[in-house]
Chain A
Amino acid sequence: MFINRQQLIATILTLVGLVAILLIPNHGVAEGVGQTHIIEIRDLNFFPAEIKVNPGDTVRWVNKDFVPHTATANNRNWDSRLIGINNQWELVINGDTIEDYYCIYHPNMKGVISLNK
């Protein structure tokens, strides 16, 4: 059976497309394990204030505020320490890290991390 040039090109392009779909990271889309959740810090608040996660997900705090902040677990199991202006910090979620948190420098700033059911 012969494959002509056009069929060969179409086949290659299809395979490249499939590989690309598999390799492109899945940011903020609510499906699958290993998702990255982005929390913006601005106006002395965490946006969003509540997120639902799965073990294996990553949470990334990005400080877009005027002043430094932290993201610190209420039980102190994890602590970003100082997140400077325009800096960020990441936490990979496992069973021990699902915990509400706050900013040590501004204790009224609070966030909730809970498990997807």
Chain B
Amino acid sequence: MKVKSKLLQVSFAVVLISGCAIAGTQNPAELNDLEIAHVAYTADNIDIRYAHLALAISNNPAVREFAETMVRDHTAVNQQALALLYKLKASPVDNFLSQQLTVQSEQLVNEMKQLSGAEFDARYANNELAYHKAVNGLVENSFIPNIENMQVKALFEKGLTIFKAHERHAETMTSSLK
């Protein structure tokens, strides 16, 4: 199968998210606005789920503060996204990438549920850093340049600012656990 460089870049980002090899990946850069909105909504909900797991398992203050921020911020961004879609009289559309992210997140949740203490904290923190790096790369390089609706694009640009701050916060959290 011939692989274009752009597809390779995007596939690499997806591999980062999943942690496992993916063959025959479709191209996230070819998703339309409503599919992109669905991916973003799914990615937000996944991170909220990881955060709730951290709040259930971790006793580390830095991890708990980070997790609380993830719940708070991703919930707020999702509310803004749903409000915009309501205003545009549109609904997000399910797609291969949302489904891949969901399957992979289930696997990670099942793995993290078996952990506790410092082992859980390290796994959660490292995943948050990798997850935010990968998703931010997708949003910046594959989604924002291809979104057609200007209001949706503006929302994603604002969201990216917030999620890059999360990435920096995750770096700090990860360093504090070493």
Give the interface segment out of A17-25, A54-62, A92-100, A105-113.
Answer: A105-113
Contact of A66 among B65, B159, B172 (CB under 8 A): B159
A30 within 8 Å of B by Cβ?
no
Closest to B62 in A: A107
| A-B pairs with beta carbons under 8 Å apart, 22 shown | A43-B158, A43-B161, A44-B162, A44-B165, A66-B73, A66-B76, A66-B80, A66-B158, A67-B77, A68-B72, A68-B76, A85-B76, A104-B65, A105-B65, A105-B68, A105-B69, A105-B72, A105-B73, A106-B69, A106-B169, A108-B165, A109-B165
A residues less than 8 Å from B168 (CB atoms): 108
Categorize the interface residue count of chain B: 10 to 19
Interface residues of chain B: helix, strand, loop or mixed (majority): helix
Chain B contact residues, CB within 8 Å of chain A: 65, 68-69, 72-73, 76-77, 80, 158-159, 161-162, 165, 168-169, 172
B residues less than 8 Å from A109 (CB atoms): 165
B residues less than 8 Å from A68 (CB atoms): 72-73, 76
Closest to B80 in A: A66
Which 10 residue pairs spanning A and B have beta carbons closest together?
A: A67-B73, A67-B76, A105-B69, A44-B165, A43-B161, A66-B158, A106-B165, A108-B168, A68-B72, A67-B162
